[in-house]
């Protein structure tokens, strides 16, 4: 079970190593301000269903492009389950939804129960860099806006062994669509 943590441990949980976490805390200068920032971050995000860029129509469009019908789907960094619900409604796959925020997984499961979809979903509270699954366990791995946490290259390398033969990995990431982004952007 995940426990609620804060400060340096929280930064490390988000993928920073100890040195980077210490530096980030140091850069905050005023530790009280830093804690306040983290509290505000929690306050805003807890109220939002979607925690990353994307839309339902983008998810469905990508689902339609799959070459095979998935039977075992691993979603990494599922958050509050905005895409998970679509998988449950639009595929016959058994879904394993991973995140390291216990409250998000709890919210996800409550939503699925309200909609009678819970039997298709197992939630796992784990670090995306150390997931407790056997190799070749999934024929579809899906991660919306979360691979950046490990670094996209690292994520692809770490997650590929979990894919079965001919398995498919779908990852979305926030990137610039121009070489010259505006100052405000
Ligand atoms: C940008 S959000 C995207 C969430 C969701 N896919 C969405 O679009 O709403 C990144 C997600 O990764 C989770 N996360 C952060 N670090 C993680 C880690 N080390 N292991 C597993 N999940 C992590 C966060 O809790 C959050 O739910």
The CATH number for 117's domain is 3.40.50.150
- Asked if residue 180 belongs to a domain, the reply is no
The number of the ligand 1 atom at minimal distance from the alpha carbon of 48 is 9
Instruction: Name the least confident of 10-14, 92-96, 158-162.
Output: 10-14
Find the domain containing 13 and state its range.
7-47
pTM over 0.95: no
Local structure of 93: helix, strand or coil = coil
17-68 per-position pLDDT tens digit = 665 665 565 555 555 666 777 777 777 777 888 988 899 999 999 999 999 9
With 0-12 / 13-18 / 19 or more C-beta atoms within 10 angstroms meaning exposed / middle / buried, residue 112 is: buried
Count of structural domains, the chain: 2
Q: Is residue 68 part of a domain?
A: yes
145, 69: one domain: yes
pLDDT on residue 72: 98
Task: Return the residue whose CA atom lies nearest to atom 22 of ligand 1.
Answer: 99
Residue 133 included in any domain: yes
Q: Which of 2, 149, 170 to mutate to test the pocket of ligand 1 (most atoms within 8 A of CB)?
A: 149
Shared domain for 110 and 158, answered yes or no, is yes
Same domain, 70 and 157: yes
Residues 164 and 147: their CA atoms lie apart, in Å, by 20
Residue with the bigger pLDDT between 109 and 175: it is 109
- Residue 138 pairs with which residues in a beta bridge? 163
- Spatial strand order in the sheet of 163-172: 121-125, 94-99, 72-76, 138-144, 163-172
Q: Are the C-beta atoms of residues 109 and 137 closer than 8 Å to each other?
A: no
For 97-146, write each residue's pLDDT tens digit.
999 999 999 999 999 999 999 999 999 999 999 999 999 999 999 999 99
- Cα 79 to ligand 1 centre (Å): 5
Pocket of ligand 1 (CB under 6 A): 13-15, 50-52, 54, 77-79, 82, 98-101, 104, 127-128, 144-146, 149
**Ligand 1, atom 1: nearest CA belongs to which residue?**
52
Report if residue 74 sits inside a domain: yes
Ligand 1 geometric centre to CA of 75 (Å): 10
CA of 135 from ligand 1 middle (Å) equals: 22
- Residue 29 and residue 96 in one domain: no
């Amino acid at each position: 079970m995940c426990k609620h943590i804060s400060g340096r441990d929280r930064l490390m949980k988000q993928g920073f190593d100890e040195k980077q976490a210490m530096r980030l805390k140091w850069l905050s200068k005023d530790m009280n301000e830093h804690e306040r920032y983290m509290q505000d971050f929690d306050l805003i995000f807890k109220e939002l269903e979607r925690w990353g860029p994307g839309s339902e129509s983008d998810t469905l469009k990508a689902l339609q492009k799959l070459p095979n019908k998935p039977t075992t789907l691993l979603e990494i960094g599922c958050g509050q389950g905005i895409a998970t619900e679509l998988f449950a409604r639009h595929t016959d796959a058994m879904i394993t939804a991973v995140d390291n925020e216990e409250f998000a997984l709890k919210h996800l499961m409550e939503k699925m129960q309200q909609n009678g979809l819970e039997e298709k979903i197992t939630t796992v509270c784990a670090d995306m860099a150390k997931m407790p699954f056997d190799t070749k366990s999934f024929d579809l791995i899906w991660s919306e806006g979360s691979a950046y946490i490990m670094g996209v290259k690292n994520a692809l390398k770490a997650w590929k062994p979990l894919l079965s033969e001919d398995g498919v990995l779908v990852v979305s990431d926030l990137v610039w669509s121009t070489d010259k982004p505006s100052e405000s952007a």
